[in-house]
Amino acid sequence: AQSVAQPEDQVNVAEGNPLTVKCTYSVSGNPYLFWYVQYPNRGLQFLLKYITGDNLVKGSYGFEAEFNKSQTSFHLKKPSALVSDSALYFCAVRLTSGGSYIPTFGRGTSLIVHP
């Protein structure tokens, strides 16, 4: 079955350390993968996407994500975390259903960056 998963409910990291938020997917055909961030009491904001091409995608606020086809993963990374990066992060994939592309989200990962 087609799906997207975020295996961690919460990730804790110290400020200045690198961070990784994990995402795995299961889709038929080429995956269209996205990361979004949600700050408290706000809507989701687009960070970056992978459609095709270079496996390392760079996005907003210094975030990047690595597409790994063999491991069916699309992990979000940042070399040096900031306290202001603390938020809820969602991985999303376009799943095909009856000829339509349905944007489908993982359950979200809460990132907490400690000073």
Partner 1 sequence: DAGITQSPRHKVTETGTPVTLRCHQTENHRYMYWYRQDPGHGLRLIHYSYGVKDTDKGEVSDGYSVSRSKTEDFLLTLESATSSQTSVYFCAISHTTDTGELFFGEGSRLTVL
Among candidates 42, 89, 40, 44, which has minimal Cα distance to 63? 89
Name which of 42 and 114 has its Cβ closer to partner 1: 42
79: Cβ contacts below 8 Å, ≥ 6 apart: 18, 62
89 binds partner 1 (CB under 8 A): no
The count of chain residues that interact with partner 1, using the rule CB under 8 A, is 23
Q: Is the four-CA dihedral 84, 6, 102, 94 of positive or negative sign?
A: positive
CA-based torsion, 14, 33, 91, 41: positive or negative: positive
Through-space distance between the first and last CA atoms of the chain, rounded to whole angstroms: 41
Per rule CB under 8 A, is residue 107 in the interface with partner 1?
Answer: yes
Nearest residue (CB) to partner 1, 18 versus 46:
46
Asked if residue 39 binds partner 1 (CB under 8 A), the reply is no
31 touches partner 1 by CB under 8 A = no
Indicate the residue among 49 and 77 with the shorter CB distance to partner 1: 49
Does residue 53 belong to the site contacting partner 1 (CB under 8 A)? no
| Least distance CB 96 / partner 1 (angstroms) | 9
Q: Give the tokens for residue 72.
A: 């069916």
